Amino acid sequence: MCGIMINKLKLKSEFAKNVLTLMTGTTIAQAIPIAISPILTRIYTPEDFGVFALNILFIKDVLK
């Protein structure tokens, strides 16, 4: 049963290849911050994260 489904999912069309590329990039882009967050939480305090968030907020407002 699984072999039949795998054969159906083979990337034969350009659309399927593009969808797989997009999904892979999105997954990697979401996995990087999740993987790095334990390191950042050991380096920075919650106060540092708050200061960073405020800076980003003001920079976004200025750049609009």
Q: Work out how many domains the chain is built from and give that number.
A: 1
Tens digit of each residue's pLDDT (9 = 90 or more) over 29-56: 999 999 999 999 999 999 999 999 999 9
Q: Is the pLDDT of residue 4 over 80?
A: no
Cβ pair 11, 17 in contact under 8 A? yes
**Domain assignment of residue 41, yes or no:** yes
At 16, is the pLDDT very low, low, confident or very high (cuts 50, 70, 90)?
Answer: confident
Q: pLDDT at residue 8 above 90?
A: no
Supply the pLDDT for residue 10: 60
> Is the pLDDT at 64 greater than 90, yes or no?
no
Does residue 10 lie within any of the structural domains? no
Residue 4 lies in a domain: no
DSSP state of 44: S
Q: Domain containing 45: what range?
A: 15-63
In a domain, 54, yes or no: yes
- The pTM score is 0.56
Is residue 1, in this structure, part of any structural domain at all? no
Distance CA 31, CA 20 (A): 16
In a domain, 47, yes or no: yes
